[in-house]
Structure 1
């Protein structure tokens, strides 16, 4: 009976403050607690009664209805604002989302710091690689001046010695080509002229021209024979590169062959010279006679000794070239390392660009999440109006208003229908203006009060 008395008293309430106070009391008192359905029914009846009363006061005017609905919406807002527990429950999903977003921001900030540290590390790596490149460039320029500084077993200044030796070798080679072309032509093809002096018979300035004029066999022989001696000199150098007994034996044999070749040329020439001056009593020319002739030894030493000099100069140049090769090899090695480091810089710069792009994306994500957190905070700070509930109670108010029109206004049926239609239009306009729709089951309307 006591519970029934409370309900009857609730039906007679005319203002929102009394209703909210009683509703709170009923919800807080376990011994007098009403079910949610009973509270909704009681509240609906209250709004219906208020609508009926306001309709009576305003004779069902649509214009008055529009103003009254605004007051009803304000009343509903105040009621919802006073229901703290209900507001907390409605806002709970937004609070949970806000907490999740705050956790997400913390994770994003950690990721942002890590990405910034990664970019700093990449910059440091790029600077370190650039420093290495500058060091390598300095070493490339400094290597010829002081190879020992870089633990390279090469002689400083080898380049100048190399070029001086190369110039000397070039002129000695010209001498050997001239000498062997002339002596080989004189020894094997030329007929000596008794009226010419000995030197002109031995060293014919037109030997090359005359030999080719006489035919390709003579021309090819006198042209190619200097290369035989050059080849022998090259072989002697190559054998000298290997320091062992057999190499020395081979070098000795090559020198002996070269000496023998020069001796043959000298013998042939000296034989022709001897024939020009011999008499009937002169003995036949042989080695014993050749060994006593100064021209014989002069031809040998003019060829063989200069050939030995050529070989020594060639060997010296090759050694100098080897010294230059050591330095050049180290320079080439450093140039290759520079290219490798430059490729490394390119790779690091690409990684940096990717990291910067990821950092910008993280910053954008943080900004979006912070914006959502601020939006959620505005929702939490505002009064949340359950749309479906407001439509429910506003429609009850509207029914009360229309009930008065139908029951208490004594006007024609047509006038009644027009008046009700205008009131319904005012009601729909109001619901649209406050964002309340019957099909928005879970939608809410936010108003910052």
Structure 2
């Protein structure tokens, strides 16, 4: 009989079961053991006599014996069920495992879908914030921001005007303060050179550190007064207006003092014996006196107005910039959230891939178990028992009925045993193997 073999699995037996079914099968098997042994022994003796103990014939006969044993085992339906019981149990467990893993897989996929939706929503929010950052400058009122349009442009224009005016005031007050307090006028110099000395800064420092420091720092007094005027103008109340008026008056008086000092030096330089002592009424009649005051005080007022204007525009610009900074921080927070969500998503993806691998392995094992259940399980240790009986019958013939020289008998027996061992190894009938599972090809 020819049987096609597709796959061979050699498995260690774990089939120690208790119960009535197991006992009944074992009892039945025990009753048949002795008769089967005798049958195989007798068959081995008979086949050996027919083939004169040939080891080549033994190989063929052993294959036929194995096929016979396999067919016999197929007929033991209850025994097959008993042997296959652990595979049925494992298959059920694997199916339960697959169901649990499938539920876990669906949960992970749902989590990933929810994370994708969150990430997409946050990215949309980031794009909206970026658009608002650009649109704030064009239309701040659209975002309920009380800021004027074009504040940034007005600020830079005002700053462009303020810088040269500041340089003018610095130069003017350095020159006039030096001329008023430290310079000695002479007749050889013209009036303008005495009032506005282009080398006043150098001369003041050459006269001494005190003079140099005085003419260097005095412009900042006027700048400080201008800054105070701006700060008081922030508060729209009578107290602030009074303070502003006092500051303007102080600046005017200081400019008047500088003009008076300079005009007095010029008057003393040009006076005669008939000239009256220089006093305030005389100073009021001099054009240069008023020229010095207005060259300083009027320009100072202009500087204060421009400074106040750019500070207000800067405030308007800061409102927009502040809102832009808030949106920039929001974008940064959203990006950090996206990073956290992406990290969480990657972790879930790893878990999902692991679950998919477990499901695939479980399905593979279920398929393998089903093939085992559909196959015939051969108890190879039992086969070794019966095959050895068959070999004993064959060797018994050689020893008792084959009339050849002793040496030739011993060689033939050794060759038959070797053929038997090769056969057992080829069919997986070893001492370490409890069962062999054969899957017949379709």
TM-score normalized by the length of structure 2? 0.85
Q: Does structure 1 residue 170 correspond to structure 2 residue 163?
A: yes
CA distance in 2, matches of 1:329, 1:250: 31
Structure 1, residues 244-285: CA drift from partner, whole Å, max 9, x if none? 665555434433322221121122123223334544444433
Note the aligned Cα RMSD (angstroms): 2.9
Q: Does structure 1 residue 145 correspond to structure 2 residue 151?
A: no
Q: Which moved more, 1:212-221 or 1:50-59?
A: 212-221
- Partner in structure 1 of residue 436 of structure 2: 444
Q: Which moved more, 1:380-389 or 1:44-53?
A: 44-53
Equivalent pairs, count: 419
Structure 1, residues 277-335: CA drift from partner, whole Å, max 9, x if none? 54444443333443454443343233222212211211111111111112122222222
Q: Does structure 1 residue 93 correspond to structure 2 residue 86?
A: yes
State the shift of 1:359 in Å: 3.0
SS of equivalent residue, structure 1 residue 144: helix
Contact kept in structure 2, 1:436 and 1:445, CA below 8 Å: no
Long gaps (5+) in structure 1: 1-26
- Partner in structure 1 of residue 415 of structure 2: 422
- Partner in structure 1 of residue 340 of structure 2: 347
Q: 1:125-140 maps to which residues of 2 (within 5 A)? A: 125-140=118-133
Contact kept in structure 2, 1:136 and 1:334, CA below 8 Å: yes
Contact kept in structure 1, 2:378 and 2:435, CA below 8 Å: no
CA distance in 2, matches of 1:206, 1:411: 145
Long gaps (5+) in structure 2: 1-19
- Partner in structure 2 of residue 79 of structure 1: 72
- Partner in structure 1 of residue 266 of structure 2: 273
- Partner in structure 2 of residue 185 of structure 1: 178
Q: Does structure 1 residue 257 correspond to structure 2 residue 213?
A: no
- Partner in structure 1 of residue 300 of structure 2: 307
Contact kept in structure 2, 1:405 and 1:420, CA below 8 Å: yes
Contact kept in structure 2, 1:140 and 1:334, CA below 8 Å: yes
CA distance in 2, matches of 1:301, 1:447: 117
State the shift of 1:439 in Å: 4.1
- Partner in structure 2 of residue 159 of structure 1: 152
Structure 1, residues 411-443: CA drift from partner, whole Å, max 9, x if none? 443343333222222211211111101343x34
Contact kept in structure 2, 1:66 and 1:427, CA below 8 Å: yes
Contact kept in structure 2, 1:435 and 1:445, CA below 8 Å: no
CA distance in 2, matches of 1:268, 1:336: 58
State the shift of 1:388 in Å: 0.9
State the shift of 1:35 in Å: 4.5
- Partner in structure 1 of residue 16 of structure 2: none
- Partner in structure 2 of residue 23 of structure 1: none
Contact kept in structure 2, 1:187 and 1:265, CA below 8 Å: yes
State the shift of 1:198 in Å: 4.5
Contact kept in structure 1, 2:371 and 2:439, CA below 8 Å: no
CA distance in 2, matches of 1:410, 1:170: 134
- Partner in structure 2 of residue 66 of structure 1: 59
Structure 1, residues 338-360: CA drift from partner, whole Å, max 9, x if none? 33333333333333333333333
Q: Of the candidates 101, 105, 108, which is equivalent to residue 101 of structure 2?
A: 108
State the shift of 1:378 in Å: 1.6
Structure 1, residues 145-197: CA drift from partner, whole Å, max 9, x if none? 11111222211101121122112212222221232222212212233445766
CA distance in 2, matches of 1:58, 1:278: 165
Q: 1:397-436 maps to which residues of 2 (within 5 A)? A: 397-436=390-429
State the shift of 1:126 in Å: 2.9
Greater relative CO, 1 or 2 (CA 8 Å, sep 6+): 2
CA distance in 2, matches of 1:390, 1:260: 129
CA distance in 2, matches of 1:390, 1:348: 62
State the shift of 1:212 in Å: 4.2
Structure 1, residues 12-43: CA drift from partner, whole Å, max 9, x if none? xxxxxxxxxxxxxxx99xx9x96442222222
CA distance in 1, matches of 2:27, 2:296: 135
CA distance in 1, matches of 2:439, 2:389: 22
Q: Which moved more, 1:60-69 or 1:376-385?
A: 60-69
State the shift of 1:365 in Å: 2.5
State the shift of 1:213 in Å: 4.7
Q: 1:39 to 1:245 in 2, by over 3 A?
A: farther
CA distance in 2, matches of 1:304, 1:411: 148
Q: 1:206 to 1:405 in 2, by over 3 A?
A: closer
Contact kept in structure 2, 1:434 and 1:445, CA below 8 Å: no
- Partner in structure 2 of residue 382 of structure 1: 375
